[in-house]
A and B are shown apart, each in its own frame.
Chain A
């Protein structure tokens, strides 16, 4: 049976880079991998999702509702939006970050209160990560995505994949050090 990971976030949050690192690592680890990134108008602040499936053999790249083993949300409203894709006993890893959608920032809608509480009350396996905050502490706000990556790899149930090497292959040399640090911080959360 293939395992499925759904990554969700807001355009510009770096979800696609994480998906890329994940799927390359899984391929190197000897798995069949399919990843789909449907990124229509996402650059303009919309929701973004990427779907990764891996196993001995993967057929359909799509992840349906109630099917994801792991849901990784880079923003909490997106976690709530895509929660219906998570398996009943799946794992949610969520960044404690709030990004207002346009209707909220222009005062036409409200950002719901108590998202984290609702998530915690509904899911048994939830891990809340302060990725945005830690990234700022590390002095590079953009590396929050790599912190998220670090925090999730242990849940994949795979061994012997050199994630640090994958990070190096996908990022320019001058940011290797900070991102490897971010990855390790994530692993220890």
Chain B
């Protein structure tokens, strides 16, 4: 049977067909749908983990215990999981262990553009790079086999274009892989120096040479000779871009198994062709290897390191072709940046904090609430990585004190992010005596990545009830004093305002927890379907105060302020800021 699948769906299908039994992940674009799809197969035990390090450790444990296991994450997730990644590489596995990294060339929704192929090289972990959906499925199955044959975890390196492009995939049956026998083997599974030293040597002298032989012979790496004037070495999506540009007018060495790289194949190919191009996205991973072999090639001196590759970029950089003729309009087109949704529960707190804008520094974090930095709210000085909303705030506060800057630090962090890596920061803030405010924005879901359950939502990945971790009691246990905790409804501005004032004036670590579910959660949408606000044009003085809350449902059009009833969910934040009582609430209840 044929089906149209995204790369992510195809990975999930591959895991299913390969007899995978345990799968876990922490969500992150563009990887999220992998686990969402895996979880639809009853045969695979699927879990959202609290973060990527936990996910990889769970999968490692499962693999050692004897089951084929899979873990998926976005590129920056592998930074979080780097610690287990480097050491499970030494230990090897029992049941197959497949680790998926979904990289983001072009940064469609990420904070950096790291090329995780370098992680395979650094940690010496076998790596495959599928180029389309069919290969996503096939390579996943191969990866489990490679893992078990060579006793190594296998990294599958995906990129956004591969994850999120649909292509035709041939489906097959599941092959049941039974759970392997587990035998205690401390020299293999306990990495203390006495065991790690021989393991490292064994890796260098046995496993990697074997993998390199495999790389030279596997069908995952293949040469297609056409015209030999131009030879192209390429991998992943870049292969398809290159094929589109050069067609049969060039020869190709397509690399699907990319760590270790196939030295013999490369040598053979380079000898046959006249000019050798290396076409790869982001870092010169293949190119550096080829050049180190003493082979002449053209790569990053022509093709940009930054951004996503496309056929056009290849044409311009290698063939010096002109840009296509382009239709232009003489119009000033305003940008359409993402914004906090109408009814977003994050709006109220940012609005109240924005009144202190000149008296505070705000260290933000990653999630929908990062958008609080956008005008007109404009709350946010820094955003580095998950967790830094708390911990970068600690550092900022130290220096504010030293420099005698009269600026209080407000850190912002979402519920999912708090569980992921905010807890350790908060402990640090308490332990090291930090006079900062931490605002935990509990919207009862992992919203930014498309609504995944998390330890605070009371549900697991397949929607079953799960124990709910209570943020407030956790904060208390960590050592924030009861009088320094406010749990508020951010739809209620008076309550929110009072909490922000108390927080600003406090001289000890202070926590505000905002509680109101994301407006896009299906049940919330249903419940608030008939609620909306409306402007009374008679009373409206066009002072535009309501525009300062940055709600996309409110606009100033043809000389009137109007509220789009379809978008509005009756959160009433606008009504509460209106100085002239010109906004009315409609609907059953509030």
Residues of A participating in the B interface, judged by any CB pair closer than 8 Å: 10-11, 23-24, 27, 32-47, 58-62, 64-67, 77-78, 80-81, 83-84, 86-88, 100-112, 114-115, 118-119, 122-123, 141
Contacts and interface: CB of A to CB of B under 8 A. Distances in A.
Contacts of B325: 66, 88
Interface in B398-430: none
B538 interface: no
B470 to A, nearest CB: 28
B29 A40 contact: yes
Contacts of B4: 23-24, 27, 33, 35
B212 interface: no
A119 B329 CA distance: 7
B161 A80 contact: no
Given A27-B4, A41-B448, A44-B371, A109 B334 contact: yes
Contact of B337 (A32, A34, A61, A103): A103
| Residue among B2, B338, B556 with most chain A CB within 10 A | B338
B108 A38 contact: yes
Interface string B9-26: 000000000000000000
Contacts of B166: 23, 33-37
A33 B4 CA distance: 8
B241 interface: yes
A84 B326 contact: yes
Contacts of A114: 331
Interface residues of B, number: 60
Contacts of A44: 338-341, 368, 371
Contacts of A80: 329, 331, 333
Contact of A61 (B165, B371, B547): B165
B328 interface: yes
Contacts of B556: 105, 107
A46 B312 contact: no
Contacts of B323: 65-66
B160 A33 contact: no
B375 A106 contact: yes
16 contacts: A23-B4, A40-B109, A41-B338, A43-B341, A44-B371, A45-B341, A60-B311, A61-B240, A77-B336, A83-B328, A103-B334, A105-B551, A106-B376, A109-B335, A112-B334, A122-B329
A105 B555 contact: yes
B186 interface: no
A64 to B, nearest CB: 4
Nearest to B556: A107
Given A60-B243, A65-B326, A77-B336, A36 B161 contact: yes
A38 B312 contact: no
A110 B578 CA distance: 23
B479 interface: no
Given A35-B166, A39-B164, A118-B330, A27 B2 contact: yes
Contacts of B333: 77, 80-81, 112
Contact of A60 (B244, B336, B337, B520): B244
Contacts of A100: 552, 555, 557
